[in-house]
Chain A
Amino acid sequence: MRHEFEGGTRVIDSLDLSVEAGSFVALVGPSGCGKSTLLRLVSGLEAPTAGTVSVVPAAVSSTATNAESDGKRVAFVFQDAHLLPWRTALDNVALPLELQGVAREEARRRARAPLRDVELDDALERYPDQLSGGMRMRVSIARALVTEPDLLRLDEPFAALDELSRQRLDERLRALWARRRMTVLFVTHALSEALFLSERVLVLSKRPARIVLDHAVQLPAARPLALRSELAFVEQSALLYRALEAHGGLDEARA
């Protein structure tokens, strides 16, 4: 697949990637390398300049190329929570169901479960401006989970949060994935977050993006927060770091 912006800037160059259903894949790379664009392409929000994007759900053999045509299978978590300020937490989570034609009361009923999953059952009727940044992000994740998606894409979801909130959300997300086993594509620029969360880390080069390292993470399935200080974790982190450095991923940070 190849993709250019209007005006001919090549963002993604001959990228060939397939992701196994039910796996947790993290994409890391320098800022502005095209990670977010890649997610938008996979979500069907943009069409690639050349090549194809196919989403093949595990249970169905036919290829659904247009994500919009099948709302149930897509879910997207943005860099910021992007909640509707005039809706409560519960109504925000119910929104995707309402848009798919589920009656309002039924949608509100079904929205309770994902809010429980992110431990927000005590904040159902609060409005976004009454919630902390971390809580808003959890509402945003609950909104993505409410349609029980086969594929969840997260675009640097915790980048704006403090380190502690971020690590706790990483832990929650990992637990949710372990329980539901949906396919997750997680874009981040934090190497340790990528390693902690995923089964596979793809390191991308600076623009135009191509894959410079495809790393299968060797860590136990159960991952406590303290794992980050263990030798296996640190060694793999160093491996990712070197790959990023070798392909210009740190140029911007140095400049």
Chain B
Amino acid sequence: MKRALEQALPPALTLILVVCLWEGGVRLLGVPAFLVPPPSAVASSIVKERTLLLSALGTTSEGALSGFALSLCLGTLGGIVLSLSRRLERGVYPYTIFLQTVPIVAIAPLLVLWFGTGLRAVAVSAFIVSVFPVVANTLSGLKSVDPRLTDLFRLYGASKLALLLKLRLPSAVGSMTTGWRVA
């Protein structure tokens, strides 16, 4: 209990200090609220508009979560498929790297045009942002299996499926969860 308090105290103090400076600075300098609203104004409008804000938060979270879930399924599947054929990997992988660098802000207007402003646009942008790290990390995890262990499986005549289920997927778990965190 005492330790928890000790850990929480310094960041709490920083927060209080920053909020006080912000409030005091805005009042002292007389900055109009539409340029820099003081923390008190932000807090009061949160309370006033709480129904609208809560429902918007709900939509965004729902969209983000479903987009993320979809990217986990399709991304992992995509990584597995790419790992099965070297040609396919060479043909497709460079583009997944390239697409990963496209900023979502740049395509957001298009997504709104295609899917409207609601849940679906949010889900699709969450999916686009998160699917590439999932594919990339699944693939690299599947490929970075200890070659001696692959030899071992070959020696005992393991099928491609057994190699995938008993060796490559379990070895890739660490790398895959890293991908999920990044996503």
Q: Which residue numbers of A lie inside 8 Å of B, CB to CB?
A: 43-45, 67-69, 71, 74-76, 78, 80, 82, 84, 86, 95-96, 98-100, 147
Contact B170 A99 (CB under 8 A): no
Name which residue of chain B comes closest to A46, CB basis.
B151
Given contacts A95-B166, A99-B162, A99-B166, contact A82 B149 (CB under 8 A): yes
Please pick, from B146, B156, B158, B162, the residue contacting A82 in the complex, using a CB distance under 8 A. B146
Contact of A45 among B155, B167, B170 (CB under 8 A): B155
Q: Are B149 and A74 in contact (CB under 8 A)?
A: no
| Cross-chain contact of A68 among B148, B154, B162, B166 (Cβ < 8 A) | B154
Q: Is the CB of B156 within 8 A of A96?
A: yes
Complex: A43 Cα to B148 Cα, angstroms: 13
Query: Among B146, B148, B151, B153, which residue has its beta carbon within 8 angstroms of that of A99?
Result: B153
Query: Cβ of A86: which chain B residues have Cβ within 8 Å of it?
Result: 170
Complex-state Cα separation, A86 to B146, whole angstroms: 14
Q: Is the CB of B155 within 8 A of A74?
A: yes
List the A side residues contacting B154 at CB < 8 Å.
45, 68
Find chain B residues with CB under 8 A from A95 CB: 156, 166
Whole-angstrom distance between the Cβ of A65 and the nearest chain B Cβ: 15
Q: Is B1 an interface residue (CB 8 A)?
A: no
Is B152 at the interface (CB under 8 A from chain A)?
Answer: yes
List the B residue with the shortest CB-CB distance to A74.
B155
Least CB distance, B173 to chain A, in whole angstroms:
8
Q: Mark B132-159, 1 if CB is under 8 A from A, else 0.
A: 0000000000000010110111111110
Bound Cα distance from A82 to B155, whole angstroms: 14
List the B side residues contacting A45 at CB < 8 Å. Answer: 151, 154-155
Q: Which residues of A contact B155 (CB under 8 A)?
A: 43-45, 67-68, 71, 74-76
Q: Enumerate 22 A-B pairs (CB-CB under 8 Å) in ascending A order.
A: A44-B155, A45-B151, A68-B154, A68-B157, A71-B156, A71-B157, A75-B155, A78-B148, A78-B152, A82-B148, A82-B149, A82-B152, A84-B166, A84-B167, A96-B156, A98-B162, A98-B166, A99-B153, A99-B156, A99-B158, A100-B157, A147-B156
Known: A45-B151, A84-B166. 8 other contacts (CB 8 A): A45-B154, A71-B155, A76-B152, A80-B148, A84-B149, A98-B166, A99-B157, A99-B162
Q: Which of B146, B151, B154, B155 has the most A CB atoms < 10 Å from its CB?
A: B155
Q: Which of A43, A75, A80, A82 has the most CB of B within 10 A?
A: A82
- Tell me which residues across on chain A come within 8 A of B149, comparing CB atoms: 82, 84
CB distance from B155 to the nearest CB of A (A): 5
CA–CA, A43 to B156, complex, Å?
11
- Contact partner of B151 (CB less than 8 A), chosen from A76, A96, A100, is A76
B residues within 8 A CB of A98? 162, 166
Enumerate the 4 nearest inter-chain pairs by beta-carbon distance, A residue then B residue, closest first: A99-B156, A71-B157, A99-B158, A71-B156
Bound: A51/B169 CA distance, A: 38
B46 CB to nearest chain A CB (Å): 47
Q: Enumerate chain A residues within 8 angstroms of B167, measured Cβ to Cβ.
A: 84
Cβ contacts B107-148/A at 8 Å (1 or 0 each):
000000000000000000000000000000000000000101
